[in-house]
């Protein structure tokens, strides 16, 4: 009887302590290093860092911002050795969707910063583009 009543109160306390420990030891990342820039500001600053196009290879081959490197979808994380962590990263995709935000957050967790995102994506880019 004592053992049964012991588990009635010990089990919730143990679970609570474990959850608290997990929350307390979780790493906190500074996502304020992700900055969304208007196309004009993005254009003025993109030459100071690494320009990454997250669109499909087909879209990239058709039109792109001059100087961009293409890492379609999530291929970027398999090729992180091609980027320098000590230089800013300028990201864009088609419409600044959830993909570019997820990639930006993951880059911050991988110690890349600052990260600049093109507001509105490539569809908002009204400057000259390179076409093949």
Summarize the confidence of residues 65-74 as an average pLDDT.
90
Contact call for residues 51 and 65 (beta carbons, < 8 A):
yes
pTM, two decimals, is: 0.79
Write the CA distances from 122 to 94, 101, 132, integer angstroms. Answer: 5, 14, 16
Residue 20, burial from CB neighbour count under 10 angstroms (0-12, 13-18, 19+): exposed
Write the CA distances from 29 to 32, 62, 75, 110, integer angstroms. Answer: 9, 36, 23, 10
Read off the pLDDT band of 61 (50, 70, 90): very high
Q: Name all domains of the chain by residue range, CATH numbers in brackets.
A: 31-131 (3.40.250.10)
Strands 50-53 and 69-70: parallel
**How far is the C-alpha of 93 from the C-alpha of 79, rounded, in Å?**
17
Read off the pLDDT band of 12 (50, 70, 90): confident
Q: Which of the two residues, 98 and 22, has the higher pLDDT score?
A: 98
Backbone angles phi, psi at 117, to 5 degrees: -115, 135
Summarize the confidence of residues 13-29 as an average pLDDT.
82
Measure CA of the first residue to CA of the last residue in the chain; give whole Å: 79
Q: pLDDT at position 44, please?
A: 96
Q: pLDDT at position 65, please?
A: 96
């Amino acid at each position: 009887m004592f053992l049964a009543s012991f588990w009635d109160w010990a089990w919730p306390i143990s679970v609570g302590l474990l959850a608290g420990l997990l929350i307390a030891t979780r790493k906190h990342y500074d996502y304020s290093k992700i900055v969304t820039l208007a196309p004009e500001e993005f254009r003025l600053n993109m030459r100071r860092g690494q320009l990454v196009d997250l669109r499909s290879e087909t879209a990239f081959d058709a039109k792109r911002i001059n100087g961009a490197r293409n890492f379609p979808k999530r291929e970027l994380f398999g090729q992180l050795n091609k980027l320098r962590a000590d230089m800013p990263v300028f990201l864009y995709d088609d419409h600044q969707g959830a993909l570019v935000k997820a990639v930006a957050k993951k880059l911050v967790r991988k110690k890349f910063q600052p990260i600049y995102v093109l507001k509105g994506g490539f569809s908002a880019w009204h400057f000259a583009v390179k076409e093949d």
